[in-house]
Structure 1
Amino acid sequence: MDSASDTTRSGLIAILRGITPAEVVAVGAALVEEGVHAIEVPLNSPDPYHSIELLATHFGKLCPIGAGTVLSADDAARARSAGADLIVSPDTNIEVIAAALALGMRPYPGVATPTEAFGAVRAGARSLKLFPSGALGISGMRAVRAVLPDDVELLPVGGVDESNLGDWLAAGAGGAGLGTSLYRPGDTADQVRVRARRLSNIWAATR
């Protein structure tokens, strides 16, 4: 493990790309009950702001709710109005980071190089989305992690599943973004619950 404390760890973030408002509450309940630490609805999902609002209403006091694939400051502001606590982006957009911080939200800018990582840190981000994590691999994450401040965490996203989550966490990741390994459009809440339980068990064992 790296030297980061639990206060700088985001844990497991469920990425519900493609979810609809009609199913989001049932899926959200399964995730919260199985110990997933945060839930993200990407903005390229159907009616994403409504889904964010429903999650915030039902589970906002139990876990942070986030908007993903946030590409502009306007998107961040609209997500905040819907009840989002987290802003997740695929890139390092300084304006999005600034907007999230100004609105009292936690930004997760996407980074793939040390240059992007330090640009995001200088803009005020303390949680960095390592994306696509498969391109850098665990050894690459270790190298970037070694030069970042202790209060900055890296969260791999893209290709993280049951087979490698423990390895990422043991190498110093502050958590992980879990997409298709946890939810695919059309999955039932029961299917998601089974996967969430397995992934949460890996988190608990690795900690």
Structure 2
Amino acid sequence: MNREIIAILRGVQPNEVVGLCETILEAGIDKIEVPLNSPDPFDSIGAIARAFGGQALIGAGTVLNIENVQRVKDVGGELIVSPDCNVAVIKKAKELGMQSWPGVMTPTECFAALHAGADGLKIFPGDLVGPKGLKAYRAVLPSDASVYAVGGAGPDNFAEWAAAGATGFGIGSAIYKAGLSVAEVRARADAIVAAYDKALG
């Protein structure tokens, strides 16, 4: 089953990232981002791209400029996630053959991102828009647009978001917080996958 979930490993350390990613993949989540405000993020992205690039979509979050898009590509990343709708970042990612998921919060930003070539939209912060807001967006967005809810979306409300038109989710602290063990992350990942399968399976 192709689960539309991106695991967000904010704060992860390079010396632990491979083991954490391995257990997340085993749980059934195959899209992983390391935010660039994590310690030595390019080292982490490179390590997991080398280890799992053939079986997972690996990349960076909190990508704010085209220089960092290039750096992610240079270490083997293929996914660019941003908190904002920066057309230059979107276009650079697409120029390099990468997936681009910009953060959007208004219909204007949604359409600007899609016109620039974004692969999908990251509704962020999701809890401010809410399922009710997303449902209104969906009335005007292209029916085939992929929309991930990030921030405020989790196992307890996957079904509500999906009913409003969310096609996937970015999951941060519900799956990983700095200091958690591999076993703790696996338990969280298993719970998220089970909830996702129940809501969207």
Normalization by structure 2: what TM-score? 0.96
- Per chain length, whose mean CA-contact separation is higher, i.e. which structure has more relative contact order (CA < 8 Å, sep 6+)? 1
Q: Which of 126, 150, 161 is the aligned partner of 1:157?
A: 150
Which residue matches 1:126? 119
Following the alignment from structure 2 to structure 1, what is the Cα–Cα distance between the partners of residues 87 and 74? Answer: 20
CA distance in 1, matches of 2:25, 2:16: 15
Q: Paired residue for 2:11?
A: 18
- Size of the aligned set, in residue pairs, is 200
Cα offsets for 1:62-111 (capped at 9, x unmatched): 11002000000000000011111110000000000000000000100100
Q: 2:32 aligns to what SS in structure 1?
A: strand
Structure 1: give runs of 5+ residues left out of the alignment: 1-5
Residues 6-61 of structure 1 deviation map (CA, whole Å, 9 limit, x = unaligned): 9xx87010000000001101100110000013000000000000100111111111
Return the alpha-carbon distance in structure 2 between the equivalents of residues 89 and 104 of structure 1.
16
Q: Who is 1:181 aligned against?
A: 174
Percent identity, aligned pairs only, is 46
Aligned to 2:78: 85
Structure-2 separation of matches of 1:94 and 1:82: 22
Provide the C-alpha distance between the structure 1 equivalents of 2:97 and 2:164, rounded to a whole number of angstroms.
Answer: 30
Partner of 1:33: 26
Hey, what does 1:49 align to over in structure 2?
Answer: 42
Report the AA paired with residue 85 of structure 1.
Answer: E
Distance 1:183 1:88 in 2: 17
Q: Which residue in 2 is equivalent to 1:72?
A: 65
Contact 1:145 1:154 in 2 (8 A): no
CA RMSD of aligned residues (A): 1.4
Residue identity in the other structure for 1:49: F
